[in-house]
Structure 1
Amino acid sequence: MEVAPQLRPRAGLEVVAGDVGEAVPSYAQAFQVVVNIEVKPVATVPRRTPGASEEADRLWLEHARTAAVIDDEGCFLVRGADRDWVRVRRTAHTALSAALVPGAGSMVIAMSPDGRRLCALTEEDDDYWIVVHHFEDPLM
């Protein structure tokens, strides 16, 4: 199990053993939700302001917790190198903004372990966006 190359080691995530449930939407489905032209962020941070990446990480964590994307053990799913999702745990050094490639419109999508919710940190033009989505029904 390995996270996608852009997430290691910069994002400070610990890979955790465990299967990803079959009801979890694919990474492609989650990606389409986040890049949808109608998506509206729950929060934005201008990238040019001092401390922007730290503020984006703080807001991502706040919204990920509120949306129950992170479980009681600090775990969630991220894109894997060779598969759709890998289970990871937050550490004291977790900073998802460190995995974003400036100017590339990159993103990190975190999915709840049950596949019902996601919270993404994206780079959109001159801002960081935090996007939260709740899937209406689990996939069967």
Structure 2
Amino acid sequence: METTRGPSGGAPARELAPTGLVTAAGYVAEGAPSYARAFQAVVNVEVEPRATVPRRAPEAPARADRLWLEHARAASVIDEEECFLVRGADRDWVRVRLTAHTALSAALPPNGGGMIIAMSPDGRRLCALTEEDEDYWIVVHDFEHRPTD
């Protein structure tokens, strides 16, 4: 995944507008998994969350955002420029940058069932914020270090 396919283009998906993310110039790794592959890594029956927050807990969205940021940093999903990849309007990856106002939970629908997937710029790891039943889940996946079957 050392080569690049060129600058990320376009804009983040429309539902990400309220998150406070800004589009950033930069490259997307040539071998980065497709959004569909990343989606499957998050929504399969074998997925175990790294952390959970009850959605009815006080300040649950803010707690979920803090946990997502903590796990995204620990998993090296966010690079040294505070950037990572999200789904673009054209379903390709778009490079974005964190801001002081970033809140991924702002993009989740009020009735549940939403998901935001953040991919490392090199395409090797992801950290997702999802809503599952009555909880927010933080899911981390490493595309290089999967358990053997």
Report the TM-score range of the alignment, normalised by the length of the smaller protein.
Answer: over 0.9
1:75 corresponds to 2:83: yes
Q: Which residue of 2 aligns with 1:41?
A: 49
Of 113, 123, 128, the residue aligned with 2:136 is 128
1:55 aligned counterpart, secondary structure: helix
- Deviation for aligned residue 1:20: 1.5
Q: Does 1:4 align with 2:13?
A: yes
Q: Distance in 1 between matches of 2:91 and 2:36?
A: 11
Paired with 1:126 and 1:86, the residues of 2 have a C-alpha distance of: 30
1:72-111 pair list within 5 angstroms? 72-111=80-119
The answer on 1:114 being equivalent to 2:127 is no
1-side partners of 2:41 and 2:12: how far apart?
A: 21
Which has the higher mean CA deviation after the structures are superposed, 89-98 or 100-109? 100-109
Residues 99-131 of structure 1: per-residue CA shift (max 9 Å, x gap): 001224110000000000000000111000000
Gaps of at least 5 residues in structure 2 are 1-9
Q: Is the 8 A contact 1:102 1:123 kept in 2?
A: no
Following the alignment from structure 1 to structure 2, what is the Cα–Cα distance between the partners of residues 52 and 75? 24
* Counterpart code for 1:6: E
Cα distance per residue 1:35-67 (max 9 Å; x no partner): 011100000000001100000000000000000
Structure 1 residue 84, shift from structure 2 partner:
1.4
TM-score (norm 2): 0.89
Query: What is the CA–CA distance in structure 2 between the aligned matches of 1:42 and 1:103, rounded to whole Å?
Result: 23
3-state DSSP of counterpart to 2:90: coil
Task: Indicate the RMSD between aligned Cα atoms, in angstroms.
Answer: 1.0
Question: Secondary structure, in 3 states, of the residue corresponding to 1:48?
Answer: coil
1:72/1:13 Cα in 2 relative to 1: closer, same or farther (>3 Å)? Answer: same
TM-score (norm: length of structure 1):
0.94
Q: Give the letter aligned to residue 109 of structure 2.
A: V
Match of 2:37 among 29, 33, 36: 29
Instruction: Name the % identity.
Output: 72
Whole-Å separation in 2 of the counterparts to 1:110 and 1:79: 8
Q: Name the counterpart of 1:13.
A: 21
CA distance in 1, matches of 2:112, 2:138: 16
Residue segments in structure 1 that go unaligned for 5+ positions in a row = none
Moved over 2 A (4+): none
